[in-house]
């Protein structure tokens, strides 16, 4: 796993922990996790930063 992958993984864990703190159920968190895993596999989180012209 490269640095971006580690950062994405850590970010996902933080999001899930925050959602759990706001009362999301384990079933909802599992559903969200599955959706996020699909997005990461598709590379939707790996966008390149753009510089202003």
Q: Tens digits of per-residue pLDDT, 1-53?
A: 667 667 778 888 999 999 999 999 999 999 999 998 888 777 765 555 555 55
Regarding pTM above 0.75, the answer is no
Say if residues 33 and 12 touch (Cβ distance below 8 Å).
yes
Q: What is the pLDDT of residue 17?
A: 96
What's the pLDDT score for residue 32? Answer: 92
Q: At what angle do helices 26-42 and 3-21 cross, to 10 degrees?
A: 160
pLDDT of residue 40: 77
Output the pLDDT for position 8: 76
Token code pair at residue 18: 């925050």
User: What's the 3-state SS for 1-53?
Assistant: CCHHHHHHHHHHHHHHHHHHHCCCCHHHHHHHHHHHHHHHHHCCCCCCCCCCC
């Amino acid at each position: 796993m490269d640095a971006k992958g580690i950062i994405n993984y850590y970010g996902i864990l933080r999001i899930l922990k925050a959602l759990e703190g706001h009362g999301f159920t384990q079933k909802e968190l599992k559903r969200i996790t599955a959706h996020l895993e699909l997005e990461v596999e598709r590379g939707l989180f790996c966008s390149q930063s753009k510089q202003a012209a």
